[in-house]
A and B are shown apart, each in its own frame.
Chain A
Amino acid sequence: MAAICSLFIINKSGGLIFYKDYGSAGRMDTNDSLRVASLWHSMHAISQQLSPTVGCSGIELLEADTFDLHCFQSLTGTKFFVVCEPGALHMEALLKVIYELYTDYVLKNPFYEMEMPIRCELFDLNLSQAVQKDRVALLGR
């Protein structure tokens, strides 16, 4: 069974620009995924304001009974988050890898319009490879 259920990328204004699910658990339709994305964007913003820590950069990990949600926000405001099995390891590293793939195959594509939904085949391809590699590494442990 896959460790990762789904991956979301949201732009700095909170719009969902990429969504992909892996395996049957936690699959949702377009409306639900949009809702989750904007909910998370707002929760993230609220957490920053509520946090007693000065200069808090928002929630990085949300642990629930049936899933974990790991979030990484780049300094430019784009958020990447994965929903995975509880206790899945190395998700921060995977999010970093995904961020690099995004800079390589999305932002460098001259025909990609910034802040718009991502439709780049090269990104899809390299992303599935990265996730696959992560799974293989997981099986090996």
Chain B
Amino acid sequence: MPTVGPRSGDAIFANVDRVNAELFTLTYGAIVCQLLTDLEEVEEVNKQLDQMGYNIGTRLIDEFLAKANISRCVDFKETAEMIAKVGFKMFLGVTASVTNWDVEGTCCNIVLEDNPLVDFVELPDTCQGLYYCNVLCGVIRGALEMVSMKTEVTWVRDVLQGDDSYELQVKLLKQVPEEYPYKDDE
């Protein structure tokens, strides 16, 4: 069977069922507000959003691989490009670009050109330090962990905090080799 390359994010995005964008945005907003009420601490909310994203990511990765027809990436650079070019397009309908690679090629920034989660959102003064879209960090972390990459994903720029763009930092901590947890002579 001939190997086919990955499908473009646009093509997949055009083919999936969609819901009204406002319903999506408002649902996410309601979740964040409820978390703020329940947990009270902004720091705790950030943590909870990350955890929720992680749980989503561990499931979403298979859909991403299946629908986008992706084969193994040769290095972390290709992985980051895949997330930005195919992943964000496929699930959020936005384009993202990868910048700021460090010399080892293990840390980069992903810049979102648009962010549908924050339409209508204005952060009140009481929510300083809240990473409103922290769920996205968790999704990327969870997804990469399922393909044996331990990463740390954080927001470095957030328009809601007064910056001029949305920028995520993805740092590869270690690649867990897919070996079996026993030695041959044991």
**0/1 interface trace, chain B 44-69, chain A, CB 8 Å (1 if under):** 00000000000000111111011100
Residues of A within 8 A of B180 (CB): 45
- Supposing A45-B180, A107-B62, A114-B58 touch, asked if A76 and B146 sit within 8 A by C-beta, the answer is yes
A107 and B59 contacting across the interface, CB-CB below 8 Å = yes
Residues of B within 8 A of A92 (CB): 1
Residues of B within 8 A of A75 (CB): 65, 70-72, 147
* B75 at interface by CB-CB < 8 Å: no
Residues of B within 8 A of A104 (CB): 63
Binds B, one of A19-27, A31-39, A95-103, A125-133: A95-103
Residues of A within 8 A of B71 (CB): 75
CA distance A69 to B180 in the complex (A): 23
CA distance A81 to B160 in the complex (A): 48
CA distance A76 to B176 in the complex (A): 12
A103 and B58 contacting across the interface, CB-CB below 8 Å = no
CA distance A60 to B71 in the complex (A): 15
- Supposing A75-B72, A92-B1, A114-B58 touch, asked if A108 and B66 sit within 8 A by C-beta, the answer is no
Chain B interface extent, by class:
10 to 19
* B178 at interface by CB-CB < 8 Å: yes
CA distance A99 to B71 in the complex (A): 14
- Supposing A75-B147, A76-B147 touch, asked if A100 and B66 sit within 8 A by C-beta, the answer is yes
- Supposing A75-B72, A92-B1 touch, asked if A108 and B63 sit within 8 A by C-beta, the answer is yes
State the Cβ distance, B145 to closest chain A Cβ, in Å.
10
A103 and B147 contacting across the interface, CB-CB below 8 Å = no
Residues of A within 8 A of B67 (CB): 100, 103
- Supposing A45-B180, A92-B1 touch, asked if A76 and B65 sit within 8 A by C-beta, the answer is yes
Neighbour of A107 across the interface among B1, B63, B70, B72, CB < 8 A = B63
State the Cβ distance, A10 to closest chain B Cβ, in Å.
14
CA distance A84 to B175 in the complex (A): 37
CA distance A56 to B13 in the complex (A): 32
Residues of B within 8 A of A (CB): 1, 58-63, 65-67, 70-72, 146-147, 178, 180
Residues of A within 8 A of B (CB): 45, 74-78, 92, 96, 99-100, 102-104, 107-108, 114
18 further contact pairs, Cβ within 8 A, besides A103-B63, A107-B63: A74-B62, A74-B65, A74-B66, A75-B70, A75-B72, A76-B65, A76-B146, A76-B147, A77-B178, A78-B62, A92-B1, A100-B63, A100-B67, A103-B62, A103-B67, A107-B59, A108-B59, A114-B58
